[in-house]
Structure 1
Amino acid sequence: MRSFEQILNDISKIPYHDTFGTKKEIKYLPNILDDNETVLSFTSGFFDGNTWLIVLTHRRLIFLDKGMIYGLKQREIPLDHINSVGHKIGLMLGSIAIQDGASAIRIDNIQKQTIVPFIDALNKSIDNFKMGRSTCKEYSSMSSADEIKKYKQLLDEGIITNEEFNIKKKQILGL
């Protein structure tokens, strides 16, 4: 099981993402991800009557909805089961449609600036998975300043605390 800090490190390197209404789901990710699984992209959207976190790893696509008070809904699709991916972009929001064999999943109300980067990462991951390559190190060339900016964004979004931000900043700067 990956630690919350490791997951925060992964998501801090993702340039375009949306966490609207999914803080509980992000905090639950360590319970779902395997030790060697890296978050490559994520966004939030409306699916099955609720706001869900959609997470792409190098092995699978995870849909996660942690209830208001209790409960958990989770669905996942291994990358080799995805047959097609489509998207639609409107004025402010868009949608993504994913076909996996006989079923189709449509996620609506996705922030439009996250759709194309998410689709690109998903298609690249599917290609790499089918070719037997891993994309875990895809975002490893980020500068220290960029990494700190990403953690600052997580702090501003309320995903991490000020203390967690300061600890991570010191780690990045080697202090």
Structure 2
Amino acid sequence: MDTSGLRGDIAAAAKGIATLGGKREIHELVTYLYEHELVELMATGTYSGSQGLVVLTNERLLFLVHGRSKQTHEEFPLPRVTAVEWRPGMLSGEITVAAGEARAEIKGVLKADGVKLVEAARSAVGAYAGMLSTDSATPPVYAAPFVVPPPPPYAPQAVPAAQAAPGADPRATLQSLRDWHAEGLITDEEYAAKRAEVLARL
């Protein structure tokens, strides 16, 4: 795949992976990332019947589909991920991500890409949980999922309106929206709508 024109971290993660069914997503990935978010690894696979791209960043696991008729994404912030599991097949396998009650199964991931992504995701989840082991007895990728204690019960809080006062800094408003979205205080739809409102005022 030609990686010219891609941001450096995205180009590095795209090198050497099977990109069939994920080229459009790779080129559009930067529009799905937060301001300081960095891409570490990626792989192509199928989620909920749609072919797309699974991405590990320094903040979350993200699955996105950016086709001509369908654009969607699902994200799992690393601090909320409780397990990342790899189930091997002959040439490909399945990645399962659990975050509390939510589960996602990404199928048809090429083995070489999937194994690397799962190992890195487990390390990142362990680092967030403060449980990263440096001893060589860490379980292999095919072992039972690495389980992190769930976060304390989540109590939704009222989210301040994202309407900026005249003269307010749109960057601060957008950052607040990103933070609320990452913390699960607003839905994907609310985030997209409020972000569009702020950008329309520029």
Normalised to the residue count of structure 1, the TM-score between the two structures is 0.66
Give the Cα separation in 2 of the matches to 1:130 and 1:37. 19
Q: How does 1:53-132 map to 2 (within 5 A)?
A: 53-67=53-67, 69-131=68-130
Where structure 2 has 5 or more consecutive residues not aligned to the other structure, the ranges are 131-202
Q: Determine if contact 1:65/1:74 at 8 Å carries over to the other structure.
A: yes
Query: 1:47 maps to which residue?
Result: 47
- Structure 1 ranges of 4+ moved more than 2 A: 4-7, 11-18, 127-131
Structure whose residues are more often strand by fraction? 1
Q: Deviations over 1:8-30 (max 9, x none)?
A: x1134346533221111111112
Q: In 2, Cα distance between the equivalents of 1:16 and 1:98?
A: 23
In 1, the alpha carbon distance for the partners of 2:124 and 2:96 equals: 16
Describe the shift of the 1:16–1:85 C-alpha distance in structure 2 as closer, same or farther (beyond 3 A). Answer: farther
The structure that is helix-richer by fraction is 1
Could you tell me the percent identity over the aligned residues? 27
Does structure 2 retain, via aligned residues, the 8 Å contact 1:94–1:108? yes
Report the RMSD for the aligned CA atoms in angstroms. 2.1
Unaligned runs of 5+ in 1: 132-175
Query: 1:6, 1:16 → 2: CA distance?
Result: 15
Number of residue pairs aligned between Structure 1 and Structure 2: 127
Q: Which fold has the larger relative contact order, with Cα–Cα distance below 8 Å and residues 6 or more apart in sequence?
A: 1
Paired residue type of 1:58: N
